[in-house]
A and B are shown apart, each in its own frame.
Chain A
């Protein structure tokens, strides 16, 4: 049992009522940068986005084609498994529905993959029906590399490690295949409201 340090409270805030999942705190205006490796800097003329795996046909968009897809404004709360939450974050991006709309598949899961080797797994249903986006803008500006630019996945209803930075594509799979953090004991689904941080939670 740890000794309580006299006078230490930490810098935690509770945030707007009803919007803070259990075990989280409001990070306020900060936007912490958590990295598991060097920040990739992929040139836009080398960038593409793929949908592959268990699909009738592999699909791909280069940066110009991706930019031509309809973008929308998104305002959501985000929740990091390391216990910070950030409210009313503003993003710009393309609904994942748009990228999957003509895909024929029996897959029920997907693995998002990124520059630098990062992966994370999700049920297919969790990126459909307007629940997930590929975002390339934050707060009205192009998404910074440290926050996952040129483009990252945004799945705000799950812990933020599911919102893969530097995302380059989705591999559709029949079975759930654990990604980078899921293989390290983090929860395969990661619902912040059920506090699904670790495998078995």
Chain B
């Protein structure tokens, strides 16, 4: 329960906000410049929000929540979001 899952598990929640599947989208970390598909980032799903971290530097790249406080998305840790493949 303390371990991370894969960012793939964040694709459903993000579909509450985005019209395309972000599982295969590339995220570029604002802290170190490392990049990779959203689905392959470590995801910490158990806290007050889902926290996605950089594979390289472990800094936060994205936070997402949908609860009584509203839908909230923090991408201050993502410098660039690139949709590279045909999304479903």
Contact = CB atoms under 8 A, between A and B. Distances in A.
B2 to A, nearest CB: 5
A166 interface: no
B2 A35 contact: yes
B43 to A, nearest CB: 11
Interface string A32-57: 11111111000000000000000000
Contacts, number: 55
A185 B67 CA distance: 11
Contact of A199 (B58, B65, B69): B69
Given A184-B74, A185-B70, A37 B44 contact: yes
A146 interface: yes
Nearest to A146: B2
B46 A37 contact: no
A39 B48 contact: no
Interface size band for A? 20 to 34
B60 interface: yes
B46 A33 contact: yes
B1 interface: yes
Interface of A: 32-39, 81-82, 117, 146, 161, 181, 183-186, 197-199
8 contacts: A35-B44, A35-B46, A36-B44, A36-B47, A37-B53, A81-B48, A82-B47, A198-B68
Interface of B: 1-2, 4, 42, 44, 46-49, 51, 53, 58-60, 63, 65, 68-70, 72, 74
